[in-house]
Chain A
């Protein structure tokens, strides 16, 4: 039983990442009707926001400490960070330690700026072009963004640790009498993803802005005829989708050391998730994200093992089966991207 729950938990962190990226993809698709191949790059940029902030915060200078000697007998050079010397070792140290959660705030302006620049600068000009062109131009953009990041940060993965307090393992299931050991940060990631998804849905459901956007998704022209500037709202939705993808990346940095092609790796799977969930359906994207994440984790479970390495292809297999039996995906709506 505890093993079973552990498999579900194992699937949750990847599932959360899939769900967050797929949510953003669906938002963009539902509002602007654009298939964004550069969405994985947004996820990657988010992860590198974590890296950047932790580098900024731990910027350090060297001083020579005459009281200590290194093994050659020379005075020892001590590295100390600006944070600690300005704010004292307690607060400064804590800030450095908590750089990944702080990067959530740090990433907001960056992701909004990137998102708006992308939409206004490029994608706006592709609304009327065929979907193939949209796919291709965003694919080109993804390559460029990826290369820019590689130029600045190099090709190797960069370890970005979670805060000390959250990088231990958590003992779960004590109340049920089960022994489940699970990394605390993954739990944090899951709940963070849930909160973000809940926030996006609440925003769409309970605010006037969200209502207008939903109306625009259903019938853009009519909303425009009512004198509402729907384009501007859709641009803002693009920025929100970019922030959601960015946050998914920010918080994912401690789980998987960010490298420049992580976006491409996640993108394909997120597309599969969107298609399985049903193109244009927000709940479908989220549900399919978690579902496929958990499925992947179960496929790698020793006890279930049909054959080696099933976990690497199970998502594709499921996607192919679903697309053939339920062409609209799990929760797809009629009339959305029928052909």
Chain B
């Protein structure tokens, strides 16, 4: 169905199901119960799941298939955000032109960066993309091009936002003044209380999830296409591919551009949820974050990046919400000295220490589980004698 074999179609259906029922799955605990803290089903977080899922899927098309480790993908995300906010400023709050422009601009930028960076491979490629992304960050942070042209382009440190005196030529009398799609506001939501539970269905989330499913479908098609096979050839033996008479560069460049456009779409969606764009989205540690998501989920697997992005964003939200007061409540039943030592240790990893947890988890995954969560799942399945549903795609991250 849809040009997929049965296994892939099932995988797609899993993603569709997860996205459709996310508000239920993430709000598993009743609203007033003690465990409600672990609920992740609020709009802001669910949107991030979908958006960073798209970002990671795109990154995986480059890194997972060709093995080229880009350390500069945040540049495309940031540029996409800026493009979308500019559309809001010029045309109005309808997100469609913004999303289209963000994909186009990110695509054009990735043509330039990809063309130059792909002349080298391995560590040089990583450093070149890193250098490009840091350059874009510096340009955006101090609004270099804007100052050059004598206009405000990125609005520097403050970040780009929409002001009431912007042209917004398509803004009609009754148009909403928040991002919307043909009148349907992004921050609108439907709340459904069932007994002690309360489920929230945000428009913005479903809008992003639609793109997530499309992005996922496209990535399956790419993975299964002859083009995807070429990309794997680039990874497994570049030299032999050249000897066969094929030029690897157009294929890698195409993969780079596709993943750049995915990142641009994610950036545009981020701006559609909250019409702001700032340079900090382009800082190189943000590029590192998408690498972390992809690796945590499983490089080169289809579902891995989505899982990884979801896990990281969930942990980020929940763990950084834990503060010392809460920890004291939780461990209050213990004797005082034990309680204080546990809270002391835990406070390194929670709240502001979230980055510490992220670093530790990331290192553990790299050291012990290079195939990420997907490989972990397969190992578990193998241990318990279940028939492995692996298709042999757990690729090692390559050079």
**Which residues of A are interface residues toward B (Cβ below 8 A)?**
35, 125, 130-133, 135-137, 139-144, 146-148, 150-151, 264, 268, 271-272, 275, 279, 307-309, 312-313, 316-317, 319-320, 323-324, 327, 337, 339
Contacts and interface: CB of A to CB of B under 8 A. Distances in A.
B119 interface: yes
Contacts of A135: 69, 71, 123, 126
A131 B67 CA distance: 11
A178 B118 CA distance: 49
Interface string B282-294: 0011001001100
B363 A307 contact: no
Interface string B368-399: 00100000000000000000000000001111
A264 B285 contact: yes
Contact of B288 (A35, A139, A271, A275): A139
A264 B137 CA distance: 14
Interface in B270-306: 284-285, 288, 291-292, 295
A293 B340 CA distance: 48
Which of A131, A143, A144: most chain B CB closer than 10 A? Answer: A143
Nearest to B113: A320
Given A132-B69, A143-B355, A275 B127 contact: yes
Given A137-B367, A339-B121, A309 B135 contact: no
B338 interface: no
A312 B142 contact: yes
A319 B116 CA distance: 12
B123 A312 contact: no
Interface in B237-277: 238
B398 A132 contact: yes
Interface residues of B, number: 48
A313 B348 contact: no
Contacts of A327: 119-120, 124
Given A136-B295, A144-B359, A279-B123, 5 more contacts: A130-B396, A140-B366, A148-B356, A272-B127, A309-B139
7 contacts: A135-B126, A143-B356, A147-B359, A271-B130, A308-B142, A327-B119, A327-B120
B182 to A, nearest CB: 40
Contacts of B370: 133
Contact of A131 (B123, B291, B356, B360): B123
Nearest to B141: A312
* 5 smallest beta-carbon distances between A and B, as pairs: A143-B359, A140-B363, A316-B135, A147-B356, A144-B359
A316 B367 contact: no
Contact of A323 (B69, B128, B295, B360): B128
B203 to A, nearest CB: 35
A4 B121 CA distance: 39
B236 interface: no
B311 interface: no
Interface of B: 67, 69, 71, 116, 119-124, 126-128, 130-132, 134-135, 138-139, 142, 144, 147-148, 238, 284-285, 288, 291-292, 295, 348, 352-353, 355-356, 358-360, 362-363, 366-367, 370, 396-399
Contacts of A131: 122-123, 399
A317 B134 CA distance: 11
Nearest to B119: A324
B348 A151 contact: yes
Contact of B359 (A125, A140, A339): A140
A157 B293 CA distance: 30
A308 B127 contact: no
A312 B138 contact: yes
Contacts of A339: 120-122, 238
B291 A136 contact: yes
A36 to B, nearest CB: 11
Contacts of A264: 284-285
Contact of A268 (B131, B139, B363, B399): B131
A2 to B, nearest CB: 29
Nearest to A337: B123
A143 B122 CA distance: 23
Contacts of A148: 356
A235 B148 CA distance: 49
B144 A143 contact: no
A309 B123 CA distance: 28
A250 to B, nearest CB: 24
Contacts of A279: 123-124
A232 to B, nearest CB: 23
B284 to A, nearest CB: 6
Nearest to B370: A133
Which of B126, B353, B359: most chain A CB closer than 10 A? Answer: B359
A294 to B, nearest CB: 19
A12 to B, nearest CB: 22
A35 B123 contact: yes
Contacts of B128: 319-320, 323
Contacts of A313: 135, 138-139, 144
A130 B398 contact: yes
Contacts of A150: 352
Contacts of B352: 150
A312 B134 CA distance: 10
Contact of A337 (B122, B144, B396, B397): B122
Contacts of A142: 359
Contacts of A308: 142, 144, 147-148
Nearest to B295: A136
Which of A135, A148, A264, A317: most chain B CB closer than 10 A? Answer: A135
B164 to A, nearest CB: 29
A176 B352 CA distance: 55
B363 A319 contact: no
